Amino acid sequence: MKILEKIRAHFTFIYSFTLSAFNIFAIIILASSFSLARVLPTRFGWEMGLIENMQVGILLIGALIALSFCPQRIRHAGNAIAGAFALMIGRELSWGRDFLTPTKVTEMGPQFPAMKEAFAWWPILYLAIGLACVAILHGFWHDFRHENFKKINIPVWSFVLITISVIMQHIGEHGQIPWLTHPQCQTVEEFAEFVVYLELVDLTVYYGFAELALNFKTAHEDKLVHGHKS
């Protein structure tokens, strides 16, 4: 309880229940994913399938948004977010293994060689990933100043949808949807993963564009004040 009291004393949380266009799109995808999994070809949920390619696309958009629209006062954090999106793209592509010839193809999709078998230089790749993680953490730490976080806006729907999507990913990955086959469950899992990435981009847009709008409003008000004084 004392910890919560200290947090409340230093930070102000503002909760927003407004549905964004991203949220509405995410709800439609989650609600329809079970039906889509029954009618779409199962290969859509495979590695390098349509849905995974959509995931890579939305992550790339998120990285570009973080680089282009991050507020100047937290520029290092914006670069860190872009780096995190880049790492997620690498993970989705299995760090390049998805471009290799699969060792076999099952009903769950193609299977690719293990990292140690695929690349002789795999220790260098792991080292690069580790260094990238350190750089990302440094970017967040560099801009983690109290004045930047006195008021923290919380878009509630985004976090609710991320939570629901993570649960759907879990049950889809383990084939725990009774009315679907395991390959169809995998399609649901990929749709849910896409929604997680979509909402991460939504959060990037929310915090980036909200700051731009605030700065524009402040500049406009200052201009009006100075205009009246003159």
Interval 54-78: pLDDT, tens: 999 999 999 999 888 777 777 888 8
> In the structure, what pLDDT confidence band is assigned to residue 225 with cuts at 50, 70 and 90?
very low
Contact 71, 212 (CB under 8 A): yes
pLDDT in tens, 127-146: 999 999 999 999 888 877 66
What's the CA gap between 1 and 24, in Å, rounded? 36
For residue 17, what pLDDT band results from cuts at 50, 70 and 90?
very high
Residue 226 lies in a domain: no
- CA–CA gap between residue 230 and residue 118 (Å, rounded): 70
- 223 lies in some domain: no
Any domain includes 192: yes
- Cα 61 to the center of its chain, rounded Å: 10
* Structure confidence at residue 208 (pLDDT): 73
Looking at the DSSP bridge assignments, the partners of residue 14 are: 153
DSSP state of 101: P
Q: Which amino acid is at 37?
A: A
Distance CA 98, CA 121 (A): 17
Angle at CA 9, nearest 5°, toward 8 and 14?
Answer: 45
| This prediction's pTM | 0.85
Position 214 in a domain? no
Distance CA 32, CA 187 (A): 12
Domain containing 74: what range? Answer: 23-38+45-204
Cα 135 to the chain's mean position, in Å?
Answer: 18
Domain membership of residue 4 (yes or no) is no
Print burial letters for 117-156: b (CB count within 10 Å at least 16), e (below 16).
ebbeeeeeeeeeeeebeeebeebeeebeeeeeeeeeeebe
Going from the C-alpha of 27 to that of each of 166, 198, 205, 227, the distances in angstroms are 14, 11, 18, 46
Closest CA to 77 of 145, 140, 144: 140
Q: What angle do CA 161, 84, 145 make, to 5 degrees?
A: 90
For range 26-45, the mean pLDDT: 96
Q: How many CA atoms lie within 13 A of 221 on its CB side?
A: 6
In a domain, 52, yes or no: yes
- pLDDT value for 216: 46
Q: Which residue has the higher pLDDT, 101 or 147?
A: 101
Q: Which residue has the higher pLDDT, 59 or 147?
A: 59
Q: How many domains does the chain have?
A: 1
Residue 49 in any domain: the answer is yes
